Amino acid sequence: MQLVGPIETAPLFPALHAELITLLRGLDESAWERPTVAPRWRVRDVSRHTFSTETSGSLPPAATGWRSPADKAPRASKPSSGWSTR
**Separation between Cα atoms, residue 4 and residue 34, nearest integer Å:** 41
pLDDT at 3 over 70: yes
Tell me the torsion sign for CA atoms 73, 75, 80, 83: negative
Helix, strand or coil for residue 42? strand
**Separation between Cα atoms, residue 47 and residue 84, nearest integer Å:** 12
Instruction: Select from 86, 49, 47, 54 the least CA-distant residue to 70.
Output: 47
The predicted pLDDT at position 68 comes to 60
The predicted pLDDT at position 1 comes to 85
Q: What is the pLDDT of residues 24-80, one digit of tens each?
A: 999 999 999 999 999 899 999 998 888 776 555 555 555 555 566 656 655 544 444
pLDDT at 5 over 80: yes
